[in-house]
Amino acid sequence: MREVEFVFGMIPFPKYDSAQENYGSSTRSTFSGLGIPKCGNAEFADLILEAFSSESYRTVSPAYYEIAMKDKYSRDSVSAQMYDMIKAGVRYDFAIINAQIMADVNPTILTRRQICRELDNWISTWEASEKVFTTNIEAYFDDILALEE
């Protein structure tokens, strides 16, 4: 990226207003997940998976962030500082992370559609989707609770 001839960079989302102390950013619904299929020793498989995940969190993620994102792919020290600001402001929203289980009735998606299409019928849109949303989220929690059994 350093070889390109145009100037580029990243900035965090703007603050809502002057009262907002820090910049904020959110994750999207594109996450990797790992599951353990039925196996002879699920507890051992879980132990190994947790150990690998922990080590990756402590070594691979910081190396990727510091070496690749802030050094190799950043044009200058200001860009690296922007990465720090963005990363420091990350928030995890349950609805965004679990958007796939909510299909098209995800409140975040519904809100975005209402705004982008300049629609003023939010209440009727939500009321039409609320039952499906509630059913999907209850089924999701039931599935999670069933894992404990």
Alpha-carbon span 117 to 33, nearest angstrom: 33
Query: Is 34:45 a contact under the CB 8 Å cutoff?
Result: no
Cα 148 to the chain's mean position, in Å?
25
Within 13 A of 10's CA, how many CA atoms are on the CB side?
17
Which among 69, 83, 67 is positioned nearest to 25, based on CA atoms?
83
77 contact partners, CB below 8 Å, separation of at least 6: none
Domain shared by 27 and 74, yes or no:
yes
Instruction: Give me the pLDDT at residue 31, please.
Output: 65
Number of domains in the chain: 2
Q: Tens digit of pLDDT for each residue in 44-82? A: 998 999 999 999 999 998 999 999 988 888 878 898 999
The CA distance from 98 to 146, in Å, is: 18
- Which has the closest alpha carbon to 108: 41, 24, 28? 28
Strand partners, 90: 25
Strand partners, 91: 26
Which of 92, 110, 134 is the last residue in one of the domains?
92
118 shares a domain with 67: no
Please indicate, yes or no, whether residues 70 and 123 belong to a single structural domain of this protein. no
Q: What is the pLDDT of residue 21?
A: 92
Could you tell me if 105 and 140 lie in one domain? yes
Residue 87 and residue 112 share a domain: no
- What's the pLDDT tens digit per position in 100-149? 676 666 777 778 888 888 888 888 888 888 888 888 889 888 988 998 76
Co-location of 71 and 88 in the same domain: yes
**Domain limits at 133?**
94-149
Q: Are residues 85 and 136 in the same domain?
A: no
Considering the domain architecture, whether residues 40 and 100 belong to the same structural domain is answered as: no
